[in-house]
Structure 1
Amino acid sequence: MEADNSTVINPVAPTYLISDYIEIAYLGMVLMLGVPANVVILKKLIKEMKACNRDMVKSGFVMLKINLNITDLLILTYSLGKLIWLITYRWIGGDIACRMYQMFSMFSLYSSSNIVMCIALDRLRNVIYANQIHTKTSKISTVKVLAYGSWLAAFVCSLPQFFLFQTVEVNPNFIQCSDVWQIRRHIKKENEYFPEESFVLTETFENIYNIVHLFLVFWGPLIVLIVTYAVIATKLMKYSLRAPGTQSVRRPMPTAADDSPKDVIVHVNLEDGLLKKDGSFRKVVKCCKEELIPKQHRKKSNRKNGGKDSTTTTSSTSTRVPTWRKQMRSRVFRTTMLVILTHFLFWFPYNALGLMKYINQGMFEVLSANANIFKDLQILITLINPFLYGFSTGN
């Protein structure tokens, strides 16, 4: 869609700035390092996914890491488009490509933010239901529902971009891809989807759209992350304040060589839902609790064992590491925290700048000179994430 000469904004085509050269070099470096690193990690995570097929907790976390890795590759693809745009210094793809690119760029950001939020929600789920069996079933897992929902939400939230951007000829033979509000402020150009008097083209709608976008892409997920980890911290501290979580139960069990019952000590880990017998662990369906053992049963067991107490507390109770500490020390928990913290640190500046426009206009105008730097920080996260969840081993 090209405008005639009467619609030209500026008769002189813009030229490169020093900041443009810096941004070209920066994007080139990120792409050169980020694409190979993320492709290698994607292959590694797919193999890891197959290896932990029966462990729901681990396979769920690996699946979310794969999704996050894919969002990083999408952001790098968007960065490649931006690099080409900077090198040509004009939009050369046509109107449909302009709309698709703006929609895709927003989709990559939404999906990345949503997957980080899913990782936090998955951590919360595993802390709350830590005592349940963690093996796969034929049903669709909660992690898959979260992942599919994240991608669908990202698509829906980014769809308006297709209708709110279009190409415009800012001077003869110099075409750019811009939003409908900028075009309306500087040029009289008919919009394909909205009439001239449409509320969508007003500054009020522009402000509403930008605020909603900021909330959906960053501030809303940030609130979810804060609430989620506040609940996680509360749950883990409650676990640590509970009564001793390990007890020994003496129960008669027959052996293959002798039909007479023999006393076998079975250590019940109340918090982790595991049975420990002769130094090995196996999962159980339900976690035992001390109050669930009736006193009558204990008395009968005492009589059978010559008056000895059949339920004793092992010395490991006093020295056993609390569940909340084990959770905090686990690599899964640390990796989750680092991914979320990195997401916050690198996304906060640009989104804070966007919000500053509606809080302090003067401060926004001062900081907007560095808007590209703040925005490019979001791209740098694609280099850091592989080192957080990919280039390491262990659980």
Structure 2
Amino acid sequence: MYETSTQISTTIPARLWSEVTEAVLLVLLTTSYIFVAIVLAYRLWKQRRIKPPAIYNGQPGPFNSFWLFKSSLYCSDCMIMLIYASVKAIWLLEFQWRFGTAGCKAYRFFSSLAFLSNSNVVCAIALDRYLSVYSNHIIGARQYQRTKRMLCAVWGFALITALPQLFVWEAYRPSPHNWKQCVTVFAIELHQLPLDSPRRDQVKLYSMLYEAYHQAMTFWVPLSITISSYVRMMSRLIPFWPFSVLHSYEDERQKTLCTIFWSKIRDKMNSLFCIALFRRKSYASQQSARVPLAGTTRHPPTTALRRQLGTTVFKNACTIALAHVVLWLPYNIISLSRFVDEEFYEIVSQNGGNLCEILILLNCFVNPIVYSGGLNNGNRV
């Protein structure tokens, strides 16, 4: 995903076994994903035509809102597989870069945009679930507009963050042979500088700063926001244990206060007294908490929080975030090791460490499986 090594050979190097293996895997994965992308595009298109189911008061559910997240995640997955993976497979099979400097810049820019948008969409899904908990579950038209603004910000941020790629990468011929590679300007300058030049340390510092920026924006910053969102969300939900999701809004309306305030009272008489005493108050508190907004519904905080963990959208969001972290983490840890010991990083990379990148590509296959499950049940936030 990064390939920012500052070492350039003055002769055409021999192929590494890891490069051959990676090229074969990339070809297989890209070919397989074409069929997955076609099927998923049809399913998303078909799902878009389905009228969102209604909730308690007849307002449209959040089905279309989560559909926007799924569509954005699908677009970024397609960019990763059809731009980054496919071009890299050709690059490894040809064993040289054949698309010139303009192609090198474009490839690095769109590849970076794909990874940034993918990671940021997962982060946006986590933020959306967080806002759903802390805004009493605003659903309907207001949530749909919020989702669109959030995704516009995600793609705009990814676009701006990827712009340095247009200035950092170039096609370069390091040897007398007609053999070019797509490398960073830092690697080119280090290759041209004498070994005793005092500027080498400065160029290496710039290279490290660029690498740190790219890694942070692509993975570590979105990961921090995602984890923080779920930790804060769970800290809000845990006090309402047990998370028994009630399928009937009427039943939940009647039992919410009893569940929260009397969950530890096991005496049968006290429980019956609690239900009889607080049933009407629970109804009154929910009516006062409901704010009439055009195209929008607010559920009371206690009702919304208890419903949260059992919803299809919430479960899918958690699964998408978990799969993203698990599959992206190994490669990013290896990339992070270069800041500690660059020699160790080079050894690991040349001996199969880059194959961990295949896990990131597998995430593009896992995402459709996760968010395609239970599509018809997406009406509950």
Of residues 137, 142, 157, the one that matches 2:161 is: 157
TM-score with structure 2 setting the length: 0.75
In the alignment, which residue of structure 2 is the partner of 1:224? 225
TM-score with structure 1 setting the length: 0.72
Aligned counterparts of 2:127 and 2:368: Cα–Cα separation in 1? 21
In the alignment, which residue of structure 1 is the partner of 2:10? 10
Aligned counterparts of 1:118 and 1:359: Cα–Cα separation in 2? 31
Contact 2:69 2:125 in 1 (8 A): yes
In the alignment, which residue of structure 2 is the partner of 1:182? 187
Aligned counterparts of 1:349 and 1:9: Cα–Cα separation in 2? 27
Structure 1 pair 142–198 and aligned structure 2 pair: CA distance change class (3 A)? farther
Structure 1 pair 285–23 and aligned structure 2 pair: CA distance change class (3 A)? closer
Q: Considering fraction of residues, name the structure with more strand.
A: 1
In the alignment, which residue of structure 2 is the partner of 1:104? 110
Q: How does 1:77-156 map to 2 (within 5 A)?
A: 77=82, 78-132=84-138, 134-136=139-141, 141-156=145-160
Tell me the SS of whatever aligns to 1:202.
Answer: helix
Greater relative CO (CA pairs within 8 A, separation 6+):
2
Task: Count matched residues.
Answer: 326
1:34 and 2:33 aligned: yes
Contact 2:109 2:165 in 1 (8 A): yes
In the alignment, which residue of structure 1 is the partner of 2:250? none
1:75 Cα offset (Å) = 0.2
In the alignment, which residue of structure 1 is the partner of 2:21? 22
1:248 Cα offset (Å) = 4.4
1:51 Cα offset (Å) = 2.3
The code of the aligned residue for 1:338 comes to T
Identity over aligned pairs, percent: 23
The code of the aligned residue for 1:168 comes to Y
Structure with greater Cα Rg: 1
1:326 Cα offset (Å) = 3.6
Tell me the SS of whatever aligns to 1:130.
Answer: coil
In the alignment, which residue of structure 1 is the partner of 2:258? 244
1:378 and 2:360 aligned: yes
In the alignment, which residue of structure 2 is the partner of 1:202? 203
Unaligned 5+ runs, structure 2 = 1-7, 53-58, 243-255, 260-274
Aligned counterparts of 1:284 and 1:111: Cα–Cα separation in 2? 29
Structure 1 pair 131–335 and aligned structure 2 pair: CA distance change class (3 A)? closer
Tell me the SS of whatever aligns to 1:174.
Answer: coil
Structure 1 pair 38–210 and aligned structure 2 pair: CA distance change class (3 A)? same
CA RMSD of aligned residues (A): 3.5
Contact 1:239 1:322 in 2 (8 A): no
1:97 Cα offset (Å) = 0.7
Q: Considering fraction of residues, name the structure with more helix.
A: 2
1:220 Cα offset (Å) = 0.8
Tell me the SS of whatever aligns to 1:170.
Answer: coil
Aligned counterparts of 2:123 and 2:78: Cα–Cα separation in 1? 18
1:67 and 2:69 aligned: no
Structure 1 pair 286–207 and aligned structure 2 pair: CA distance change class (3 A)? closer
Tell me the SS of whatever aligns to 2:258.
Answer: coil
Aligned counterparts of 2:342 and 2:191: Cα–Cα separation in 1? 21
Structure 1 pair 229–28 and aligned structure 2 pair: CA distance change class (3 A)? same
Aligned counterparts of 2:78 and 2:222: Cα–Cα separation in 1? 21
1:332 Cα offset (Å) = 1.2
